[in-house]
Every structure is written in C-alpha cells, then in structure tokens.
Amino acid sequence: MANLLNVSSMMMCPHGGTVSVITANTQVMAAGDPCILATDTYLVAGCPFVVGIIPHPCVQVQWVQPDSASQVSGSFTLSEESVGLCIAADAAVQGTVLIMMTQPSVSGM
C-alpha cells in the first residue's frame, strides 16, 4: 500500500513548475490535512517549458491512474503510485507529475 497524497504533498511538473490543488474533500484527513482526490482541480504555476522560442508551460494536471480501491465520497484518492499527466493550455500532454513528498501516516490503494 502506498502513502496517500494530501494537500501538503509536494508535486511538480517535469520542468520544475509547482502543482497546487483545490480540493473538495473536507471530511477525510491524512496526517492532519485533507486527502486529495482524482476529481480535484490541479493547477501548475511557474513551468518554464519552451518549444523553440515560444513558451509552452504546463498549466494543469489530469490524473489517469488514481488509487483503485481507496475512495472519499465516491471519488478515488491519490497516492505516491498514482499517475498524472501535465497538460499545456492547448491540451498537449507534456509529461508526468513528479510526486516529491507525501505524508507518511496513512496509506491506500
């Protein structure tokens, strides 16, 4: 079982942009912070990616492999084994999310 992600987990796009989350979960906590869900909103800030001379930053994350069994209010949770794709404003996939830090107290699958 892998450590669940919560709002304090650190995530980045493959180019170094910071991922932040706006969660709808206010009920289920992991290490004192709300667990994050595949259906939450994930925004990327500070992505420096450039195609040629044109900026092409990652702006959001779409989760394609959330946890298979752990749910909160009908939405699947995310863990350090989940897979998310970083997406540009034109919907181009630019790589996978890098999960840098999780909470170590609660795990799921």
* Backbone phi and psi for residue 92, each to the nearest 5 degrees, phi listed first: -75, 135
* Dihedral of alpha carbons 8, 9, 14, 19, sign: negative
- What are 86-104's pLDDT values in tens digits? 999 999 999 999 999 887 7
List, as one string, the DSSP characters of 5-27.
PBTT-EEE-TTSPEEEEE----S
Distance CA 16, CA 37 (A): 22
Domains of the chain plus CATH, in order, are 2-102 (2.60.200)
Q: Whole-structure pTM over 0.85, yes or no?
A: yes
- What are 1-50's pLDDT values in tens digits? 788 999 999 999 999 999 999 999 999 998 899 999 999 999 999 999 99
